[in-house]
Chains A and B, each alone.
Chain A
Amino acid sequence: MPKRANILKEWGDFCFRFACYAAALVGPALLLLLIALLVKASLPSITKFGFSFLYQTDWNPPQEKFGSVPFIYGTLMTSAIAMFIALPLGVAAATFLSEISHRRWARPAMFLIELLAAIPSVIYGFWGIFFVVPLLQPLLKAVGAENDTGRGMLTAGIVLAVMIAPFLTSVSYEVCKAVPMSQREGAIALGSTRWQMISRVVLPYAWPGILGASFLSLGRALGETMAVAMVIGNMPQIHFTTWNSPLGPVNFPALDAAAATIPSVIANQLAGAMTDMQRSALVELGLALLLVTLVVNSVARLLIWRSSRAEPKAPEIFEGKMATLERPEKPAVRAARRAELGGLLRRAVARFAWKNQLINQCMTVLMGFGFLLLLLPLFNILGFVAYRGIQSLDWAFFTSKPPLGLGHAILGTLTMVGLAPLFGVPIGIFSALFLSEFRSSRLVPLVRFVGDILGSTPSIIIGIFAYTIIVRPMQTDSAWAGAFALGMMMIPVVMRSSEEALKLVPGTLREASYALGATQAQTALRVLLPAALPAVVTGVILSISRVAGETAPLLFTAGNTDFWPKSLNEPTPFLTYYIYYYSSEGYEDKEKLAFAGALVLLAFVMVLNLGIRFIASLRSAKGARAD
């Protein structure tokens, strides 16, 4: 009996090891293939235009002139505007919730913010068109903007900011929560105000995590297609405006100008490219975008690495002080020293107390304001979609195809969203287990880096990839291709969140498990994974709700059809397609369907969030009882 058990144990361990390594290598393999295919497809353009592609500003398909500068400009500018708005807002809201607000409020508030993070980008685009554009038009006109149509980089940046801020907030919140209580207690004990505690202890401690979240969000902003394409004006140009400063006229980029981003131009032009050269140039643009995300990620990693090295600074100083205090001294000297130090502190506190208190109050209000500002769009979007959606929702919507309903598209979306996790979730979780259980492996940095890159790979590029390796050989759009693209997008999200979750599992659990004679597989699957499950599940929900609302990758892979899907090998309808196009056509009956579709999609995503969260809370309660 013991022998058999041993064999089984070894066999289990082997399987586990194999599964982890295999899953971990799927990401790098996919990325390699993706880059290889993109390079292959863009080779004609690369050989013809060479480096001029990167500095030419002219994009003229009929004359076969292709320069990428206007699109790179548009992409970077919109993302910069978005980050400029989202980063302070997100950090303010996160610290407000984790440090200031009462626990009782923080949890539901975080839940709301996570709902905001789950809203599909196409609905943000909707909101942009129907709400932000009309709002900005008179404002821009009032300040005398050159382009007062309300469509341009500024609008795109705002929509993007609202889109990425919730994600930034929720990660920052988790990171702030993970700051050890002792750090806060130490700061408070030394007489800091709450704001001093936040700015000097919590934020520096949490900074690497916040930076990581920022760059993930930046990746999302850089690669966002639909929400941007709907509001940016799609004009490939670099427009400057002149400001007559006292020192003479200054040219600076016009933020209000219409522009185009790399993903938006791919979405607009790739499907209907005039020539093979244009198609090739568009794919090269995609390649350039991938490189930009790669650079952004490398910079991010460098920053995180540096700040994580700089991070122990605070405790070091602390320890240094302790060391001086503990140096063997004559008791009298020690007492005098202590008195002196105490006096200094008291005086310092007395001198700056009112100022610090004022700053503290101001910052508290500001952070609370940031939090409210973040929640505002949520209610706005929910109210807007619910109001117009409910009016047009009826039974026929679920049971028939156009022009009466979108039942076929609901079925198609469910099919693909159901298929995708079968591919994405196991690979994601086993990759995470690989990262946490085989830390000494040389592959770890590679897998993590590739995960980061895949995570920030624009969905539209994944769409091109899935199109090339599945649609092209099958000669038809299909649910398989769509599900593959979606599954590929899930991997990095699941992997990253699972890894973070596994990291937070106390080391003592692992040690205890090994001490009881458990194998690696047993420890990982029976102890660590269950302990990390709630957070893992949150990651899976995030990924599912993210892909459920995807439009860009499905445009190239699932195709669309106005009929009920008959098999997985045929063009498959999906909800976001109808939401996007029916909303922009200005026909009342189609708009009705679009709004009903948006409501159904939103409800689906919300129910998903609520339901799986409920299960996760049950599970964690059970786990707590087991302890």
Chain B
Amino acid sequence: MNWVLSTRRVFLLGILACAFLAGCGGEVGKKNAKGSLVATRIRGGGSSFIGPIMELWKGAYEGTEVDYQVTGSGDGVQKLLAGERDFGCSDAPLTPEHIQKAGGIDAILQIPLAMGAVVPIYNLPELADPLNFTGEVLADIFLGKITKWNDPAISKLNPGANLPDTNITVCARADGSGTSHIWTSYLSLISPTWKETVGASTQPKWPVGQQAPKNAGVAKLVGDKVGAIGYVELIYALEKKTLKSGKIQNADKTAFLGASLETTGAAVANLKTIPDTLVFSLLQQPGKDSYPVCGTVWLVVQTKMEKSKAEAIKGFVQYAIGPGQALCAQKHYPLLPKVLVEKINATLSPLGQ
């Protein structure tokens, strides 16, 4: 008798608990639907290329809470198209399939938000000076054709360097990555073999080596193994003190350039005419001081969205291309050229209309 009552009580409690939880969910759901009770927070994610400057921006920007998750460019675009995020960032422009999925070219905006360089990094502690590379040599290394650091092709470019007889371990990105896209696009531009066998892609089939997700993951892979080589965005290369960044031959074949604010700035300065889609390439820009492997990160956003969210995103973009530019130098991103900023401001209007 007694226990029956107590089981009943348990049942009742259970039902009440369920009701309570359901209530919680329902209540919160309503708030969300109205949108007014919840402070505006815009959710974005994707590219790790832009991660470091995004972290500064979202800390300094006071308009709204910007939740940016570094998950890789591929993920940024996918989640945006699935409607799971308010904006995505990608350092590879959208593919025709993406645009079709979004509902046409007018349904989507691609806004250049940051530019930067992709840098070959390697782990050879005994070498003091940065090594020189050409696109061909880099392609052969990443194809697995050059397997030793003292290969004649490398020593020819570095006459003074005491290259060790160490195996080369190629490190690349495991996830869908815009940095991979910039890197493989560059290699495709230079090496016909690379173009044929691997091609330019956010997720190429790497012929050799090891892979890890995100820029920082590649940097860690390289850092963990003597003789490793990889590619990362400039700031990731600079922040890893134990790793060295290689120099790459410029497009004019007149000099070997290390990536820096000046050399990426020189490449960006070539940008005179910008297409209305705001999609362009910064690879192999002419000029003696133009670093050849530069790329752009686009903030991708669907034009159809809640007005409040659209305003919030607009506000954030205007901050990033305006006052936010002052923070760029801190993380070694070049300033966006004036022409581009004007063009972006002009294209923001369809947002939320």
* Chain A residues engaging chain B, CB cutoff 8 angstroms: 5, 8-9, 12, 15, 58-63, 129, 133-134, 137, 148-151, 229, 233-236, 258, 268-269, 271-276, 278, 403, 419, 422, 426, 471-472, 475-477, 480, 521-522, 525-526, 559-563, 566-571, 581, 584-587
Distance (whole angstroms) from the CB of A424 to the closest CB of chain B: 14
Distance (whole angstroms) from the CB of A73 to the closest CB of chain B: 16
Per-residue CB contact flags for chain B residues 74-115 toward chain A (1 = under 8 Å, else 0) read 111111001110000000000101000000000000000000
List the A residue with the shortest CB-CB distance to B10.
Answer: A525
Q: Does B265 contact A (CB under 8 A)?
A: no
Number of B interface residues at 8 Å Cβ cutoff, please give it: 69
Among the 9-residue stretches B203-211, B315-323, B324-332, the one with 4 or more Cβ atoms under 8 Å from chain A is B203-211
Among the 9-residue stretches B219-227, B271-279, B281-289, B342-350, the one with 4 or more Cβ atoms under 8 Å from chain A is B219-227
Complex partner residue of A272 from B7, B203, B217, B219, CB under 8 angstroms: B203
Contact (Cβ within 8 A) B199 A62: yes
Among the 9-residue stretches B24-32, B255-263, B295-303, the one with 4 or more Cβ atoms under 8 Å from chain A is B24-32
Q: Which residues of B contact A570 (CB under 8 A)?
A: 32
Q: Known contacts A151-B210, A563-B65, A587-B216; decide if A274 and B201 are in contact (CB<8 Å).
A: yes
Q: Does B128 contact A (CB under 8 A)?
A: no
List the A residue with the shortest CB-CB distance to B14.
Answer: A426
List the A residue with the shortest CB-CB distance to B67.
Answer: A561
Contact (Cβ within 8 A) A268 B71: no
- The contact sample of 18 A-B pairs, CB cut-off 8 A, is A8-B4, A15-B11, A62-B204, A133-B224, A149-B210, A151-B210, A151-B224, A235-B210, A258-B209, A269-B174, A269-B175, A273-B74, A274-B95, A275-B97, A525-B3, A566-B38, A570-B32, A585-B220
List the B residue with the shortest CB-CB distance to A471.
Answer: B84
Distance (whole angstroms) from the CB of A228 to the closest CB of chain B: 12
Q: Does B169 contact A (CB under 8 A)?
A: yes
Contact (Cβ within 8 A) B205 A62: yes
Distance (whole angstroms) from the CB of B238 to the closest CB of chain A: 12
Q: Which residues of B contact A150 (CB under 8 A)?
A: 224-225
Complex partner residue of A584 from B177, B199, B214, CB under 8 angstroms: B214
Contact (Cβ within 8 A) A273 B25: no
Contact (Cβ within 8 A) B216 A476: no
Q: Does B72 contact A (CB under 8 A)?
A: yes
Q: Does B339 contact A (CB under 8 A)?
A: no
Contact (Cβ within 8 A) A271 B75: yes
Q: How far is the CA of A585 from the CA of B224 in the complex (A)?
A: 12
Q: Known contacts A471-B84, A568-B28, A581-B214; decide if A61 and B174 are in contact (CB<8 Å).
A: no
Q: Known contacts A151-B210, A476-B84, A561-B43; decide if A271 and B216 are in contact (CB<8 Å).
A: no
Contact (Cβ within 8 A) B211 A274: no
Q: Which residues of B contact A8 (CB under 8 A)?
A: 1, 4
Distance (whole angstroms) from the CB of A274 to the closest CB of chain B: 5
* Chain B residues engaging chain A, CB cutoff 8 angstroms: 1, 3-4, 7, 11, 14, 17, 21, 24-25, 28-29, 31-32, 38, 41, 43, 59, 65, 67-79, 82-84, 95, 97, 167, 169, 174-177, 199-206, 208-214, 216-217, 219-221, 223-225, 228, 239-240
Contact (Cβ within 8 A) A271 B174: no
Distance (whole angstroms) from the CB of B152 to the closest CB of chain A: 22
Contact (Cβ within 8 A) A586 B84: no
Q: How far is the CA of A569 from the CA of B32 in the complex (A)?
A: 9
- Considering residues B3, B68, B174, B219, which has the most beta carbons from chain A within 10 angstroms of its beta carbon? B174
- Considering residues A403, A419, A480, A559, which has the most beta carbons from chain B within 10 angstroms of its beta carbon? A559
Contact (Cβ within 8 A) A563 B216: no
Q: How far is the CA of A271 from the CA of B69 in the complex (A)?
A: 13
- Considering residues A476, A477, A585, which has the most beta carbons from chain B within 10 angstroms of its beta carbon? A585
Q: How far is the CA of A526 from the CA of B6 in the complex (A)?
A: 11
Q: How far is the CA of A480 from the CA of B75 in the complex (A)?
A: 21
| Given A63-B205, A271-B78, A273-B203, 9 other A-B residues pairs in contact with their CB atoms under 8 A | A63-B199, A149-B210, A269-B175, A271-B74, A272-B77, A276-B97, A419-B21, A526-B3, A567-B28
Q: Known contacts A272-B71, A569-B29; decide if A475 and B84 are in contact (CB<8 Å).
A: yes
Q: How far is the CA of A562 from the CA of B126 in the complex (A)?
A: 40
Contact (Cβ within 8 A) B25 A480: yes
Contact (Cβ within 8 A) B78 A584: no
Contact (Cβ within 8 A) B210 A258: yes
Q: Which residues of A contact B210 (CB under 8 A)?
A: 149, 151, 233-235, 258
Q: Which residues of A contact B29 (CB under 8 A)?
A: 569
Q: How far is the CA of A134 from the CA of B17 in the complex (A)?
A: 50
Contact (Cβ within 8 A) A234 B212: yes
Q: Which residues of A contact B177 (CB under 8 A)?
A: 272
Q: How far is the CA of A58 from the CA of B97 in the complex (A)?
A: 23
Which 5 pairs of residues, A with B, have the shortest CB-CB distance?
A272-B74, A272-B176, A585-B216, A62-B201, A567-B28
Q: Which residues of A contact B24 (CB under 8 A)?
A: 568
Q: Which residues of B contact A129 (CB under 8 A)?
A: 224
Contact (Cβ within 8 A) B216 A559: no
Q: How far is the CA of A416 from the CA of B205 in the complex (A)?
A: 37
Q: Known contacts A61-B205, A233-B210; decide if A268 and B28 are in contact (CB<8 Å).
A: no
Q: How far is the CA of A562 from the CA of B42 in the complex (A)?
A: 12
Q: How far is the CA of A419 from the CA of B24 in the complex (A)?
A: 12
Distance (whole angstroms) from the CB of B45 to the closest CB of chain A: 9
Q: How far is the CA of A233 from the CA of B218 in the complex (A)?
A: 11
Q: Which residues of A contact B31 (CB under 8 A)?
A: 567
Q: How far is the CA of A498 from the CA of B37 in the complex (A)?
A: 45
List the B residue with the shortest CB-CB distance to A19.
Answer: B11
Q: Which residues of B contact A560 (CB under 8 A)?
A: 69
Q: Known contacts A274-B74, A422-B21, A563-B67; decide if A12 and B4 are in contact (CB<8 Å).
A: yes
List the B residue with the shortest CB-CB distance to A264.
Answer: B174
Q: How far is the CA of A477 from the CA of B83 in the complex (A)?
A: 11
Contact (Cβ within 8 A) B205 A585: no
Contact (Cβ within 8 A) A568 B72: no
Contact (Cβ within 8 A) A273 B216: no
Q: How far is the CA of A562 from the CA of B59 in the complex (A)?
A: 11
Q: How far is the CA of A483 from the CA of B219 in the complex (A)?
A: 34
Q: Which residues of B contact A258 (CB under 8 A)?
A: 209-210
Distance (whole angstroms) from the CB of B36 to the closest CB of chain A: 14
Distance (whole angstroms) from the CB of B329 to the closest CB of chain A: 20
Contact (Cβ within 8 A) A563 B41: yes
Q: How far is the CA of A562 from the CA of B201 in the complex (A)?
A: 30
Distance (whole angstroms) from the CB of B284 to the closest CB of chain A: 21
Q: Which residues of A contact B73 (CB under 8 A)?
A: 272
Q: Known contacts A273-B78, A274-B203, A567-B28; decide if A584 and B212 are in contact (CB<8 Å).
A: yes
Contact (Cβ within 8 A) B69 A149: no
Q: Known contacts A271-B75, A522-B3, A562-B67; decide if A62 and B17 are in contact (CB<8 Å).
A: no
Q: How far is the CA of A149 from the CA of B169 in the complex (A)?
A: 8
Contact (Cβ within 8 A) B71 A587: no
Complex partner residue of B175 from A271, A475, A559, CB under 8 angstroms: A271
Q: How far is the CA of A59 from the CA of B217 in the complex (A)?
A: 22
Contact (Cβ within 8 A) A149 B224: yes
List the A residue with the shortest CB-CB distance to B48.
Answer: A585
Q: Known contacts A12-B7, A234-B174; decide if A59 and B83 are in contact (CB<8 Å).
A: no
Contact (Cβ within 8 A) B205 A571: no
Q: How far is the CA of A61 from the CA of B95 in the complex (A)?
A: 14
Q: How far is the CA of A581 from the CA of B212 in the complex (A)?
A: 11
List the B residue with the shortest CB-CB distance to A278.
Answer: B203
Q: How far is the CA of A149 from the CA of B168 in the complex (A)?
A: 10
Q: Known contacts A274-B203, A476-B84, A587-B216; decide if A569 and B239 are in contact (CB<8 Å).
A: no
Contact (Cβ within 8 A) A475 B74: no
Q: Which residues of A contact B204 (CB under 8 A)?
A: 61-62
Q: How far is the CA of A422 from the CA of B22 in the complex (A)?
A: 13
Complex partner residue of B1 from A5, A235, A403, A480, CB under 8 angstroms: A5
Q: Which residues of B contact A59 (CB under 8 A)?
A: 205
Contact (Cβ within 8 A) A272 B75: yes
List the A residue with the shortest CB-CB distance to B24.
Answer: A568
Contact (Cβ within 8 A) A586 B169: no
Distance (whole angstroms) from the CB of B101 to the closest CB of chain A: 8
Q: Known contacts A149-B169, A275-B97, A566-B38; decide if A62 and B239 are in contact (CB<8 Å).
A: no
Contact (Cβ within 8 A) A584 B84: no
Q: How far is the CA of A253 from the CA of B17 in the complex (A)?
A: 55
